[in-house]
């Protein structure tokens, strides 16, 4: 029995990964990617605002204020 041949494949460097991401973003889907990113930013801001409001309600309830 022979051992299976070892295949040497190079692990992509961080720079290669960044270039791949850049290529994806600069393709025809760039507009969609930017729109999705902005939608995510807005949703994160909304959730942060909701967390602050919920915290205020909980603090007021704990203090016995209406």
Q: CA-CA distances (angstroms) from residue 26 to 29, 32, 56, 65?
A: 7, 11, 43, 53
24 vs 8, residue with greater confidence: 24
Residue 5 has pLDDT above 70, yes or no: no
* Tokens describing residue 4: 């299976």
Average pLDDT, the chain: 82
CB 25 within 8 A of CB 33: yes
d(CA 24, CA 34): 12
Confidence category of residue 2, pLDDT binned at 50, 70, 90? low
Provide the pLDDT for residue 12. Answer: 73
Q: What predicted TM-score, i.e. pTM, was given to this entire model? A: 0.51
Provide the pLDDT for residue 57. Answer: 93
Residue 63 has pLDDT above 70, yes or no: yes
Tell how far CA 28 is from the center of its chain: 20
d(CA 7, CA 65): 69
């Amino acid at each position: 029995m022979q051992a299976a041949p070892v295949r040497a494949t190079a692990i992509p460097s961080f720079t290669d990964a960044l270039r791949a991401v850049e290529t994806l973003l600069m393709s025809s889907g760039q507009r969609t990617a930017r729109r999705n990113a902005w939608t995510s930013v807005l949703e994160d801001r909304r959730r942060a605002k909701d967390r602050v409001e919920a915290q205020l309600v909980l603090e007021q309830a704990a203090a016995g204020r209406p």
